[in-house]
């Protein structure tokens, strides 16, 4: 009977932790049925092993020992998921724009070149220059925001083939990304890619609270292939993708995307 209590309590602790991060941290719900199940089973086996091998009072096993085991394994799982760099198969053709980051689509906006910033229900609608801190992308565009959680791969990939024509770092605040003004005031890197036919796409790495820094490893003048790694962000953050309006958008808000392997849109060019 005690063994069953240990197993059920351990699985409950693991599930509670994942539900919290799904609700508050934006984690994908699939982790409740994948990582959570694995973590719960492994934690239960380790806790049972400690119970049988070490003379510890039952009241300390549940919930203190099982809780400590779940927390340690969760941290190790997070470190594995965060720092991994899986091989990605780049789909589609030259006119397909791939996601620059792993994460969840939080907005898809249409911005005009000279749009005046306004506030709608505490959510700012800004112009392109205000977001990118450069005027190189002053054209009608789509702005697609991708929220990166602690479980997402944090390497960023080029959305199109082309030359890196701009790498710009902008100092700023480090307020939480759930604050509307964070997408305009937080520290960021803007990287712009330009194809041989003149088509440009930009990626804005936006730092979140507690982020060490946004890193761009590519240099201006470097040739990049679609899906090639150009940078990374440490800890949870956001990546905004700026692409031309002459594009068919193939994703929607709330969808989980993966850097280099999810096609965000298709350029409508000859």
Q: Which residues are catalytic?
A: 237
Q: Please spell the DSSP secondary structure of 183-195, one letter per residue.
A: HHHB-EEEEEEE-
CA–CA dist 224, 130 (Å, integer): 26
Q: Which of 152, 12, 151 is nearest to 70 (CA)?
A: 12
Strands (E), the chain: 96-98, 103-111, 118-120, 123-125, 141-148, 155-157, 162-170, 188-194, 200-206, 214-216, 223-224, 229-233, 237-244, 247-249, 256-257, 263-267
The answer to whether 159 touches 206, Cβ cutoff 8 Å, is no
- C-alpha dihedral sign at 214, 167, 227, 104: positive
The answer to whether 218 touches 203, Cβ cutoff 8 Å, is no
């Amino acid at each position: 009977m005690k063994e069953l209590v240990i197993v059920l309590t351990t699985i409950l602790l693991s599930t509670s932790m994942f539900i919290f991060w799904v609700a508050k941290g934006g984690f994908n719900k699939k982790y409740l049925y994948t990582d959570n199940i694995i973590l719960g089973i492994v934690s239960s086996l380790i806790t049972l092993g400690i119970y049988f091998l070490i003379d510890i009072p039952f009241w300390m096993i549940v919930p203190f020992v099982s809780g400590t085991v779940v927390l340690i394994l969760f941290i190790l799982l997070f470190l594995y998921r965060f720092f991994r760099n899986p091989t990605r198969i780049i789909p589609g053709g030259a006119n397909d724009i791939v996601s620059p980051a792993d994460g969840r689509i939080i907005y898809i906006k249409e911005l005009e070149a000279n749009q005046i910033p306004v506030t709608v229900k505490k959510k700012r609608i800004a112009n392109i220059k205000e977001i990118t801190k450069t005027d190189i992308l002053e054209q009608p565009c789509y702005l697609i925001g991708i929220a990166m959680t602690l479980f997402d791969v944090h390497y960023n990939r080029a959305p199109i083939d082309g030359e890196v024509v701009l790498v710009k770092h902008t100092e700023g605040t480090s307020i939480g990304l759930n604050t509307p003004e964070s997408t305009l005031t937080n520290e960021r890197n803007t990287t712009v890619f330009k194809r041989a036919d003149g088509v440009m796409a930009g990626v804005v790495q936006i730092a979140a609270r507690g982020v060490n820094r946004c890193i761009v490893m590519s240099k201006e003048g470097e040739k990049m292939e679609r899906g090639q790694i150009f940078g990374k962000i440490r800890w949870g953050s956001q990546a905004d993708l700026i692409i031309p309006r002459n594009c068919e958008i193939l994703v929607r808000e709330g969808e989980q995307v993966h850097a280099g392997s999810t096609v965000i849109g298709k350029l409508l060019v000859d």
